[in-house]
Amino acid sequence: MAKKINLIGQRFGRLTVVEELPKQGSSPRWLCKCDCGNTKIATTIVLRRGDCNSCGCLHREYLADRHSKTDTDISGKRYGKLFVLHRVKVEGKKSIMWLCECDCGERIPAAASELKKGHVRSCGCLVAERMNSWFEADTNVPALMADTVSSRNTSGTKGVSFDSGRKMWCAEIMFQHKRYRLGRYVNKEDAVKARKEAEQRLHGDFLDWYQQQ
């Protein structure tokens, strides 16, 4: 008959076995006290194999130390219109946050990863400036560049619709608040072609000019 194992008083890493617990399955379980003060339940096999050396605090310390080594100080650096002042704690945020001052004077917290990737480049004023510039020359640039088609459009092409009264396809285009009617066509393909050619003539040159500004 195998001799009963008694681990009480033995140490395994930071754990000291203090009490034997009822079995769950075939392996004995032990209540252990960690050096940090917390307790941990582990089986004989896990303890003797060295798979459990603490209540979990050892792993947490390792992760914290690893994180601190990779967490470089970015205070004093500039990202877009943002100048990083110092680290700041933000409730509900797991990432390390940095307080940044925008060129416009506003201050916002931002994660280092977002700053380095270029996802955050201002307090929001940069987006507002771009929105205003989109309407230069009375032209809605986002609308010109968008590929989306209205759900009411039955042709699948912007500016092409079916005139049920005349049983013909109509093509038109808007530019700088003016509507240009491009004609009616028996075949949808001809209406689509007229629309695409008009886009190239009107939008093409304008967008080339706009993107160089």
Residue 21 lies in a domain: yes
CA distance 72 to 96: 11
Range in 9-23, 67-81, 178-192 the model is least confident about: 67-81
Render pLDDT for 158-196 as a digit per residue (tens, 0 to 9).
788 888 888 889 988 876 667 778 888 989 899 888 888
CATH number at 184 reads 3.30.730
- Within a domain: residue 5? no
Structure-token match 């808007």, residue found: 174
Q: Count the Cβ atoms, other than its own, within 10 Å of residue 67.
A: 10
The Cα 34–Cα 41 span in angstroms is: 10
pTM over 0.75: no
Same domain, 171 and 119: no
Same domain, 50 and 92: no
In the chain, the number of structural domains is 3
3-state helix, strand, coil in the chain (%, to 5): 30, 30, 40
Mean pLDDT for the chain?
79
Pair (142, 184) in one structural domain: yes
Task: State in Å, rounded, how far the first CA of the chain is from the last one.
Answer: 89
